[in-house]
Amino acid sequence: MYETVLTYLFGAWLAAMMCYASRFMPTRNERRYWTLVATLVMFAFPFFPLFEGDSAGVRYELAALGAFFALLIASRWVAALLAVVFFLHGSWDLLHLTTAVAVEKPDWLARFCVPFDWIVAVYVFTRQEAWRKGRPGMHPELQAVFDAEMSQAREHFHAGQLDEAFAKLERAHVLGQRYVGAHTLSHVWMLRVGIKRRDLREILGQLVRIPSGALASGFGLAPTGNTGGTNVPALTRMPIADDLKPVLDLDAQGPG
């Protein structure tokens, strides 16, 4: 009983300390930090039943992981969903302490995570307004150039000029990859081109790059200059076209 109480208290204490420390981060970095914490917590749990040979437990954990991961991606647009991820993960931890979800994993870990997840959920929920105000937007000139490239790509696409459309999407990808919405939009249209071409490699590649690209933008890890198609490695930095450099440099100075 004594150890059980200490485990709950330690989870609550660590959550409080991490929340306090994160207040000293820039708002943009704080949001990335808690997204990273949620990601690490989610991906760690399926390994416990896997190591114990609990196949049913692995299925439970992977199903939960899929749901949490979908919410985590959506939280890039709706900050409150990040709080929902932590709250639901804490509830999932609580179920592990009952017979409702019998999974081979240490009980002390579930007891630690319940207060940790719920306290972080409350903290993250209270921070969403600060994150929204502190998030820099795309510079107006960059937005105008990005919109123009996307508009031309759509015109080429509807005219059946798929090579020209894809070339415009590559330029749009270079321009917008720092921003989740713009980055995702360019990949969605690349997927449409792949479907139109019946290019299985492009279709599969874009289905992977749509969610992974959103996360890369959210964490600030998108490789500079990468054109986004499956004809180039996803993590490779590439030279930026000379006519795109000035507007990207302008955007790097601030939202205007």
Q: How confident is the model at residue 256 (pLDDT cuts 50, 70, 90)?
A: very low
Cβ contact 68:89 at 8 Å: yes
Mean of the pLDDT values across residues 126-143?
78
pLDDT at 91 over 70: yes
Q: What integer pLDDT is reported at residue 252 of this predicted model?
A: 63
Alpha-carbon distance of 222 to 188, in angstroms, equals: 16
Cβ contact 169:177 at 8 Å: no
Alpha-carbon distance of 66 to 49, in angstroms, equals: 16
What is the four-CA torsion angle of 48, 109, 106, 81, rounded to 10 degrees? -50
Q: How confident is the model at residue 93 (pLDDT cuts 50, 70, 90)?
A: confident
- The Cβ of residue 201 has, within 10 Å, a number of other Cβ atoms equal to 12
Cβ contact 174:232 at 8 Å: no
Residue 121 structure tokens: 């959920």
pLDDT digits (tens, 9 = 90+) for 140-159: 899 999 999 999 999 999 99
Cβ contact 60:84 at 8 Å: no
**Out of 42-56, 68-82, 158-172, 203-217, which region has the weakest mean confidence (pLDDT)?**
42-56
Query: Which residue from 71, 86, 177, 89 is spatially nearest to 127, judged by alpha carbons?
Result: 86
**Percentage of the chain with pLDDT > 90?**
38
- The Cβ of residue 216 has, within 10 Å, a number of other Cβ atoms equal to 20
Alpha-carbon distance of 174 to 245, in angstroms, equals: 10
Cβ contact 177:222 at 8 Å: yes
Cα dist from 174 to 29, 60, 152, 226, 241, whole Å: 22, 39, 15, 6, 9
Question: Which of 6-15, 135-144, 146-155 tops mean pLDDT?
Answer: 146-155
Q: Could you give the residue ranges of the DSSP H alpha helices within the chain?
A: 2-22, 27-44, 47-51, 55-74, 80-96, 107-134, 140-158, 162-176, 180-197, 200-218, 245-252
Alpha-carbon distance of 150 to 248, in angstroms, equals: 16
